[in-house]
Amino acid sequence: MKVLCVAEKPAIAKAVAFILGGGRVSTRETKVGWIKNYDFDFDFPQFGSCQVTMTAVTGHITTIDFPENYGWGKCDNASLFTAPLLTKYNGKNSTNIAKNITDEAARSNVLMIWTDCDREGEFIGYEIMEQARKRNPNIGLDTTHRAHFSHLERSHVIHAACNTTRLDSKAIDAVMTRMELDLRTGSSFTRFLTDLFRKSLKLDGVVSYGGCQFPTLGFVVDRYKRIKSFKPEEFWYLNLSIKKKSDRSKTGTSVTWSRGHLFDRLAGLSIYQRCLEMDAEEATVVSVETKPTSNWAPLPLTTVEMQKDCARIFKFSAKQTLAIAEKLYNSGFISYPRTETDRFPRKMELKKLIEKQQQSSSWGQYASSLLNDPTKYRQPREGSHDDKAHPPIHPVIFTSGDSLNMNERKVYEYIVRRFLACCSKDATGLRTSIKLKWGTESFSTSGLVVKELNYLEVYIYNSWESSKTKIPEVNPGEKVTLTSAQLSSGKTSAPSPLTEPELIALMDVNGIGTDATIAEHIEKIIERSYVTKEDQGRGKSKTKVLIPTELGYALAEGFGQIGFDSMSLTKPFLRKNLEVKLKAICDGESSKEQVLHEIGSMYREAYALTSRSPRILTESYQKVLASNA
C-alpha cells in the first residue's frame, strides 16, 4: 500500500514525517523550493505496512472568481450576486503545488489529509482531494482519510495517524458559503463605490467594501464621533484627607468617597454641609481589613494578545508584530504564531522548553530557578479558547539573538518572558482596606504591600508595586483627624481616539477577521485612506491613534443613513450574523443553500437601496468636506 499524506504547511509535513518515519526519512525536492516530499515507511492499523509520502501545500491552493465576461465594467454590478463562479489557482506557485499533489496521488492508493483541524483546514483538505483525484479516480470524499491533531507531541501524532476519520463536508460547505458571499458582496459594492466616487467626485483610487473592512472602519468612526459629540460635564465630590491623631505631620492620606461623582452641585453641597455640621474635625474608622491578594500570571499567548502587547510595549503595528513573529517561526525559534489557543495541552513537556532558555544571560537564571526550585514552577493557567489546530505561542529553541535585528530580538524576548511568566506562580501581596465614616458619608482607602514578585521577576512589561504612601495604622472605632474636607469639582474628559490594541480587541470580541487576518484588515483601511494613523502625546506616553479620514467618515455616515433593517454595513452585526450562520452549517442546523439565500438576499437588498440613492453617499462626503473647510 502507498499512502499520500498532505499537510497545510511545510513545517507540519516535516515534523509529522520525522515522527512517523522514526528518523528514517528520505527527502525529495519539488518544483517549489520550500515544499519537500518526505518518503518513509509506517504501519497503519487501517492499511498495514505502507510506503508513505508526506508533503504539504501552503494554505489554500485555489480561489474563486467570476468568468471573463463578468469583469469590471463588463456587466451590471448587481448581476455579480447571481453570476456563475469559477475556481482558479491562487497565485503562481499554486499550479506547481497542485501538480505535485496530482502526481504523487497518481502513484498512491490512499490520500490522508493532515491540514489544521479548523474550518479552513477542512476546506483546504477538500482542495487537496480535488487535485489528488485528477489522476486517481479512486480518491473521493468517502475514501479520503483525515488525521485529527492539534499539536506535534509524538504520541498524539501517532494516535492521529492510526485513528483517521473522513473530511467534514459540513465545514467544507461553510467555507464555500463564506467565500462566495465575500466575493459577491465585496466585488459588487467595491465596483459601485469606486465608480461612483470617481465619476461624481473625481476621487482617485479604489473605494472598497469588504465584510471585515467596513466594521473595522466603523469602530474607528464610532469612537471619533463620541469624541466629537463629547460635552464636558462638571461634577462634584467630597475630597477628604485624614491622618492618625498621634501623627504630627501636616499631610494626610486622601480617601475615596463611596458615592464617587455627583453631577448635581446642590445635592453635593447639602451633603457636605450636613457632614460639616455633624463633625468638622474628625472621622471614624469603621473597619480595617488586611487580606492576601495576588496579581495573576498571564495566560498562554495567543496571536491577538501578542499583537496587543507588542503595540503597547514596543509601539509595533499588528502587521509588523505578525511579520516579525512569522520570521521567528520560519527560523525555528518560536512555535506557529497564528493561534487562538490559550491553554497548553496537558501532555506538553513545558519543562523541556524552559531548559533551553537556561543559557540566556538575561533570563537564563530565572529559567533555571523554575526548574530547580519546586516552589517556583506551576502548570500554566488554562484559558477558555482552543482553536484545535495550534498550541499557544511559545519559544522552541534558544537564540542569543545574534542573527536577529533589534525588533526581532524584542519580540523573541517578549515571547520567551511571557512563556516563562505563565509557567510561574502569581505575584502575591497584602492589601489593607480601611473604611471610614464622616457624618453620614462612607469613605475608603487601601494600601498594597507586595510580598513575592514571582512571575513579575521575569515579566518585566508589567509592574505591580507596593503603595508609595503608607496608609495609617488605625483600628476600628478609632477617631482620625481630618486634614482637609472640601467639596471639590472636576470635569468629565473626552474619550481618547482609538488605539490599535483597542481596535484589535474590538475586532476580536466581535468576530471580525481571524488571528491571521485582523492585522491585514487594519492595514487595508489605512491603504484605502479610510483612516490614518497619527502620533498622540509625547515621550513615554506617545501612542499611535486611528482617526477616520473625510472619506472614511463619510462612508460610515452615509451607510448609516441607508437603513438596512438597522443593520448598517459599518456595524459588526452582519459579520457576526454570518459567523453564526456558518456555525449553523457546521452543526448541521442549516445548509449552504439556505445561508447563501438568506444572507445573499439581504446584501442584494442593501445593494439595491444603495445604488438607488447614490446621492446619500456623495452628499455625505461633500457635507464632511464642507464642515471641515
Partner DNA sequence: GCAAGGTC
Which sequence positions are flagged as catalytic? 336
Residue selected from 37, 108, 190, 610 as contacting DNA according to rule CB under 7 A? 190
Residue closer to DNA, measured from CB, 288 or 310: 310
Which residues does 462 contact at the CB level (< 8 Å), separation at least 6? 295, 456
What is the closest distance, in whole angstroms, from the C-beta atom of residue 215 to DNA in the complex? 8
Distances (CA, A) of 483 to 103, 237, 248, 443: 86, 16, 11, 14
Helices (H), 72-168: 94-106, 119-132, 154-162
Residue selected from 2, 11, 282, 562 as contacting DNA according to rule CB under 7 A? 11
Structural contact between residues 151 and 16, judged by C-beta atoms closer than 8 angstroms? no
What is the closest distance, in whole angstroms, from the C-beta atom of residue 303 to DNA in the complex? 10
The answer to whether 118 contacts DNA (rule: CB under 7 A) is yes
Residue closer to DNA, measured from CB, 190 or 618: 190
**Cα separation of 300 and 382, whole Å?**
7
Stretch that binds DNA, among 55-63, 149-157, 363-371, 397-405 (CB under 7 A): 55-63
**HSE toward the beta carbon, residue 90, CA cutoff 13 A:** 11
Residues 204 to 263 in contact with DNA, rule: CB under 7 A? 206, 208-214
The answer to whether 178 contacts DNA (rule: CB under 7 A) is yes
The answer to whether 619 contacts DNA (rule: CB under 7 A) is no
The answer to whether 338 contacts DNA (rule: CB under 7 A) is yes
Stretch that binds DNA, among 54-62, 165-173, 222-230, 566-574 (CB under 7 A): 54-62
Coil, strand or helix: which one is 277? helix
What is the Cα 115 distance to its own chain's centre? 22
**Cα separation of 181 and 604, whole Å?**
11
Residue closer to DNA, measured from CB, 11 or 505: 11
What is the closest distance, in whole angstroms, from the C-beta atom of residue 116 to DNA in the complex? 6
Residue closer to DNA, measured from CB, 218 or 472: 218
Residues 461 to 520 in contact with DNA, rule: CB under 7 A? 513-517
What is the closest distance, in whole angstroms, from the C-beta atom of residue 204 to DNA in the complex? 9
**Cα separation of 438 and 7, whole Å?**
70
Structural contact between residues 453 and 339, judged by C-beta atoms closer than 8 angstroms? no
What is the closest distance, in whole angstroms, from the C-beta atom of residue 624 to DNA in the complex? 21
Residue closer to DNA, measured from CB, 252 or 513: 513
Stretch that binds DNA, among 175-183, 240-248, 365-373, 614-622 (CB under 7 A): 175-183
Mapped to the 3 state alphabet, what secondary structure does 417-445 carry? HHHHHHCECCEEEEEEEEEEEECCEEEEE
Structural contact between residues 486 and 439, judged by C-beta atoms closer than 8 angstroms? no
Residue selected from 2, 99, 156, 198 as contacting DNA according to rule CB under 7 A? 198
Residues 268 to 327 in contact with DNA, rule: CB under 7 A? 326
The answer to whether 186 contacts DNA (rule: CB under 7 A) is yes
Which residues does 378 contact at the CB level (< 8 Å), separation at least 6? 297, 423, 424, 425
Q: Which of 4, 3, 2, 1 is nearest to 101 (CA)?
A: 4
30 is written with which cell numbers?
Answer: 519539488
| Number of amino acids touching DNA (CB under 7 A) | 53
Residue closer to DNA, measured from CB, 209 or 344: 209
Coil, strand or helix: which one is 28? strand
What is the closest distance, in whole angstroms, from the C-beta atom of residue 141 to DNA in the complex? 20
What is the closest distance, in whole angstroms, from the C-beta atom of residue 340 to DNA in the complex? 9
Report the greatest alpha carbon distance in the chain: 96
Handedness of CA 122, 123, 128, 131 (dihedral sign): positive
Residues 511 to 540 in contact with DNA, rule: CB under 7 A? 513-517, 521, 524
**Cα separation of 101 and 130, whole Å?**
10
Residue closer to DNA, measured from CB, 176 or 460: 176
What is the closest distance, in whole angstroms, from the C-beta atom of residue 236 to DNA in the complex? 47
The answer to whether 131 contacts DNA (rule: CB under 7 A) is no
Stretch that binds DNA, among 134-142, 159-167, 201-209, 218-226 (CB under 7 A): 201-209
Residue closer to DNA, measured from CB, 190 or 357: 190
DSSP secondary structure letter of residue 81? G
Residues 94 to 113 in contact with DNA, rule: CB under 7 A? 94
Residue closer to DNA, measured from CB, 326 or 550: 326
Name the pairing type of β-strands 253-257 and 531-536.
Answer: unpaired
Q: Which of 165, 161, 120 is nearest to 144 (CA)?
A: 165
Structural contact between residues 128 and 7, judged by C-beta atoms closer than 8 angstroms? no
Stretch that binds DNA, among 22-30, 63-71, 285-293, 458-466 (CB under 7 A): 63-71
Residue selected from 5, 8, 18, 408 as contacting DNA according to rule CB under 7 A? 8
Stretch that binds DNA, among 174-182, 414-422, 438-446, 541-549 (CB under 7 A): 174-182
**Cα separation of 318 and 320, whole Å?**
5
Structural contact between residues 219 and 503, judged by C-beta atoms closer than 8 angstroms? yes
Residue closer to DNA, measured from CB, 92 or 228: 92
The answer to whether 120 contacts DNA (rule: CB under 7 A) is yes
What is the closest distance, in whole angstroms, from the C-beta atom of residue 620 to DNA in the complex? 20
The answer to whether 79 contacts DNA (rule: CB under 7 A) is no
214 is written with which cell numbers?
Answer: 467596513
Handedness of CA 38, 154, 515, 324 (dihedral sign): negative
Name the pairing type of β-strands 110-114 and 145-146.
Answer: parallel
DSSP secondary structure letter of residue 334? B
Name 65's bridge partners.
Answer: 86
Residue selected from 2, 39, 60, 75 as contacting DNA according to rule CB under 7 A? 60
Residue closer to DNA, measured from CB, 17 or 61: 61
Residue selected from 59, 392, 429, 497 as contacting DNA according to rule CB under 7 A? 59
Residues at the site binding DNA, with contacts judged by CB under 7 A: 8-11, 34, 58-61, 63-66, 71-73, 90-91, 93-94, 116, 118, 120, 124, 178-179, 182-183, 186-187, 190-191, 194-195, 198, 206, 208-214, 326, 330, 338, 513-517, 521, 524
